[in-house]
Structure 1
Amino acid sequence: MKAIFPLTKVAVLLITLLVCCLTHLTAEELKQVKIANGEWQPYTSSKMKNYGVVTHIVTEAFKLEGVKAVYDWLPWKRAYQSVVDGSLDASPGWIQTEKRMADVYYSDPIFENKLVFFHLKNLSFNWSKFTDLGSMKIGATLGYNYGTEFQEAEANKIIDVVRVKKDEQNYKLILNNRVQLFPISLDAGYYQMRKYLKPDQADLITHHPKAIAETRLYRLIVSKKNPHANIIIIKFNKGLHQLKTLGLYDQYIAELRGGGY
């Protein structure tokens, strides 16, 4: 009877070592990541070159670590849920929130999104708070959240906001002087102008350098239930760091701002 206990301990030790080895091998053999992606031009889109700049960054970061990124295109709500429930491994372009942190791990930031006012070049103004905007009309898009301060200023009638169905309508409103300002992310604004306006029209519009809201950092998410979550995040972060060191990250951002996607 005394011999049973030493044998049991040895068996437990062997099983533990076997599990550790298998886990290590699985992590080292990670060659593919299934990613839930969605439409958010110019950052991610199944219709764009390299699927948009963010997707391009994600693909190349994983590739530098020997991992192939495979994409499944879904509405964003389903994309998030597919990661949480484990049917897909990861998804790019998410802001870190306390609520989501209960479900997912976050990578290092993939890109930052600066929200600014677009306006006619011949409109000269400066502002530090929303009360400085006076009687200027602001075009905005239905359903969009432009940050806590903007939303509160709109709700309290501190700013005069006109909401329309689609972003592209706001550029026409600016050109026709029906609104003076339109809030949108810096890169998305210039991308949309190239897409929806004639070159001579787009040349009439610029942006104010002051950010409307705190710059948002967008990251890759992986479910905490995913058995390979840590290795996926580690590999992606390492690849992203290499991408920046090699100068490729800056190259992709420059291509985005030059209309390359």
Structure 2
Amino acid sequence: MRYAFVLLVLLFGSAQAAEQVRLTNGEWPPYLGETLPHHGVASRIVAEAFALQGVEVQWEFHPWARSLKMAEQGLRDGSAVWLANPEREQRFHISEPVVESGYYLFHRKIHAFDWSDVEDLRGLRIAGTRGYDYGEAFERAEAAGELKVVRLTGDEQGLRQLLAGRIDLFPVDKVVGFDLLYQKFSAAERQRLSFHRKPLRSDSLHLLLSREVPGNAELMQRFNRGLNQLRDSGKVSQYLLEIQQPLSLSH
């Protein structure tokens, strides 16, 4: 009888452990962040989609490059949230879209600005954040020297340089940009900035689960089911609406 009880405890403990997933994460408010409510809206969507499938997420926050590498090597089960590309498809199971991201060109209101193609950006002083990919056309023009782009350490620095007049344009995810402006800048500073309505790039962001971890293919199927359940419930739209700052910058 005692042996049977111990066996049940061991089996129950194993079942519990199997229903946890270890994911890496990084800092990109309001989508992701260790100290944000629910660790950010994208983290909340991932965690609640898994919860609908009976899986608990254990988050770890690291610098972005380390987060991706740990997941790629199978040291952690996966990472959230990332762009999908052919290289990552070889190393990860990639989820259905978790959130959508749109990068827009921010500028000072006193600087009249319009564009339709990347060629229209030539001759303008542009900054970008290190490690960020602003789309194939932009990256190709930057690499060829057709665009003069200074890479900075973060989005806040870019917006400050824009306000200081050191640069003419700064691309940033619109939701991230507005969150920064409302969290770190004054109302007077916000009123000096605008953004062009044409996105520099628009993408979906995804959960990645490592192909090095056994069972992750089936786990991704479960996640996608939970994500669709969460989306059908209206909660995904609700959570995304909750992080939207008033879009008062005129175009």
Q: TM-score, normalised by structure 1?
A: 0.78
Report the counterpart of residue 250 of structure 1 in structure 2: 237
Report the counterpart of residue 19 of structure 1 in structure 2: none
Question: What does 1:19-58 correspond to in 2, within 5 Å?
Answer: 30-58=18-46
Cα distance in 1, alignment partners of residues 66 and 153 from structure 2:
23
Report the counterpart of residue 236 of structure 1 in structure 2: 223
Report the counterpart of residue 183 of structure 1 in structure 2: 171
Cα distance in 1, alignment partners of residues 74 and 146 from structure 2:
45
131-140 or 232-241, which moves further after superposition? 131-140
- 2:178–2:245 CA contact under 8 A, matched in 1: no
Alignment of 1:148 with 2:133, yes or no, is no
Task: Name the SS of the counterpart of 1:243 in structure 2.
Answer: helix
Cα distance in 1, alignment partners of residues 130 and 88 from structure 2:
24
Cα distance in 1, alignment partners of residues 46 and 137 from structure 2:
32
Which residue, 113, 118, 121 being the options, matches 1:130?
Answer: 118
Report the counterpart of residue 109 of structure 2 in structure 1: 121
1:72-121 superposed Cα distances (whole Å, 9 cap, x missing partner): 22233332333333332221112222222222211111112211101123
Amino acid at match of 1:43: Y
Shift in Å at residue 31 of structure 1?
2.6
Amino acid at match of 2:243: L
Which 5+ residue runs of structure 1 have no aligned equivalent? 1-25
Shift in Å at residue 134 of structure 1?
5.4
Query: What is the total number of aligned residue pairs between the two structures?
Result: 233
Amino acid at match of 1:230: A
Cα distance in 2, alignment partners of residues 234 and 154 from structure 1:
38
Report the counterpart of residue 8 of structure 2 in structure 1: none
Task: Name the SS of the counterpart of 1:210 in structure 2.
Answer: strand
Alignment of 1:69 with 2:82, yes or no, is no
- 1:114–1:186 CA contact under 8 A, matched in 2: yes
Alignment of 1:220 with 2:213, yes or no, is no
Shift in Å at residue 201 of structure 1?
1.0
Report the counterpart of residue 188 of structure 2 in structure 1: 200
78-87 or 51-60, which moves further after superposition? 78-87
217-226 or 72-81, which moves further after superposition? 72-81
Provide closer, same or farther for how the CA distance between residues 143 and 238 of structure 1 changes in structure 2, counting only shifts above 3 A: closer
Provide closer, same or farther for how the CA distance between residues 64 and 142 of structure 1 changes in structure 2, counting only shifts above 3 A: closer
Shift in Å at residue 154 of structure 1?
2.9
Shift in Å at residue 57 of structure 1?
0.7
Cα distance in 2, alignment partners of residues 165 and 94 from structure 1:
19
Provide closer, same or farther for how the CA distance between residues 103 and 165 of structure 1 changes in structure 2, counting only shifts above 3 A: closer
- 1:137–1:160 CA contact under 8 A, matched in 2: yes
Alignment of 1:110 with 2:98, yes or no, is yes
1:124-150 superposed Cα distances (whole Å, 9 cap, x missing partner): 432111232354322333444322321
Task: Name the SS of the counterpart of 2:177 in structure 1.
Answer: helix
Cα distance in 2, alignment partners of residues 88 and 229 from structure 1:
11
- 2:28–2:176 CA contact under 8 A, matched in 1: no
- 1:27–1:228 CA contact under 8 A, matched in 2: no
RMSD over aligned CA atoms reads 2.5
Report the counterpart of residue 75 of structure 2 in structure 1: 87
Shift in Å at residue 29 of structure 1?
9.2
Report percent identity of matched pairs.
Answer: 32
Report the counterpart of residue 4 of structure 1 in structure 2: none
